[in-house]
Structure 1
């Protein structure tokens, strides 16, 4: 990619983040944002934006991912359950601020726009699920997570408490609360059977 093109692409991502940053005086919601507004803020044409992204949702998700992935890595140098535990804590930390409110808006927009939902799943959810599935697979192989469920089902149970808190603003994103939620997902809610 030519240097000039990459500069334009970065200008678009930065402009999108500025426009969505609620700490900025002229910020707006995901729903209010338009390709035209992004182009004006970035100093590029709409055609330039559409050269890289098919929709507003795709621009926003790429903008979000550029920062999000760096802060919520899944380490391969840790035992898999420890890596998962560290990951959900880092995810909660990111979601406790501006990025969490942006994610909630993206999910809300996806509920009434099938194109946004498809873009969200394609660019964000499925690649993230694939990464966590590899860690879950390692945990199953070493015996720290039980088999008998699909990797996708297990990933969904790990992420569910975080996204519930994000969307309903219930509970806390502090480290202890997030770890407690992770442990509950890990061990299940069935009562322990007492041997007789």
Structure 2
């Protein structure tokens, strides 16, 4: 019965000018999210997505160019691109909380998928662009807000390039995610922030 219903929906979605069914779209994204966590990005196939979601492969390819495009949307639809601004009154404490949040994200199921998508982004401009716009930019914007507040309060050095300074805070945790050579727990996050602040603080 589910397959018949899916075929009807597919036929409707192929009608000229008809917008894609939100119900089918959600089913595809949910199925993709489950497969990313169980079999991984490389092993996941469009056929598996189709079987699990009830949407035909033709419909999936009509909406997305390849499985990586589906994976990026599924991954990002499950998480908020914007992190809350701690705004504790201390730039160092704000950075500590944000970097700890990155550590929690990296060590969960989403972190493993994120690492796989970063790998694909090296050869797929679509994946790279989507990750940059919807995930990287919002988080860097939050870090830049914290940086600007710290400079204005006289906590951080205004003579430094903010982009380079923020890389010193974000880079070590991402490096650990990709290589797995060191922990990503709260203690590691605190150590990264404390070490960076020795050169960034006034």
TM above 0.5, yes or no, is yes
- Map 1:85-104; keep pairs closer than 5 Å: 85-104=96-115
Determine whether 1:122 maps to 2:138.
Answer: no
Aligned-pair distance for 1:75? 2.2
Superposed, which structure 2 residues align to 1:46-57 within 5 Å? 46=57, 48-49=59-60, 53=64, 55-57=66-68
Tell me the residue number matched to 2:181: 170
Shift of 1:36: 4.2
Task: Tell me: CA distance 1:53–1:131, structure 2 relative to 1, closer, same or farther (3 Å).
Answer: farther
CA gap of 1:176–1:37, structure 2 versus 1, over 3 A, is same
Is 1:14–2:25 an aligned residue pair?
no
Q: In structure 1, list runs of 5 or more residues that go unmatched.
A: 22-26, 190-196
Tell me how far 1:51 sits from its aligned partner. Answer: 6.6
Q: Is the 8 A contact 1:53 1:59 kept in 2?
A: yes
1:33-112 superposed matches below 5 A: 33-46=44-57, 48-49=59-60, 53=64, 55-69=66-80, 73-79=83-89, 80-112=91-123
d(CA) in 2 for partners of 1:185, 1:65: 29
Identify if the C-alpha distance between structure 1 residues 28 and 170 changes in structure 2 by more than 3 Å, giving closer, same or farther: same
Residues 173 and 189 of structure 2 are in contact (CA less than 8 Å); yes or no, is this contact kept in structure 1? yes
Q: Which deviates the most, 136-145 or 60-69?
A: 60-69
Check 1:52–1:83 CA distance in 2 against 1; reply closer, same or farther (3 A cut): farther
- 1:147 is paired with a residue whose SS is coil
Structure with larger Rg: 2
Q: Please state how far the C-alpha of 1:93 moved relative to its aligned partner.
A: 1.4
SS at match of 2:44: coil
Number of residue equivalences: 181
Query: Is the 1:74–1:132 Cα contact (8 Å) retained in structure 2?
Result: no
How far off is 1:179 after superposition? Answer: 0.6
TM-score between the two structures when normalised by the length of structure 2: 0.74
Separation of aligned partners in 2, 1:187 and 1:54:
46
- Contact 1:19–1:28 (Cα < 8 Å) also in 2: yes
Tell me, what secondary structure is at the counterpart of 2:80?
helix
> What does the per-residue CA deviation read over 1:49-80, in whole Å, with 9 as the maximum and x for residues that have no partner?
4676555334323332334438x823254224
Unaligned residue ranges in structure 2 (runs of 5+): 1-19
Distance in 2 between residues matched to 1:122 and 1:52, nearest whole Å:
20
Alpha-carbon distance change, 75 to 18 in structure 1, aligned in 2, over 3 angstroms: same
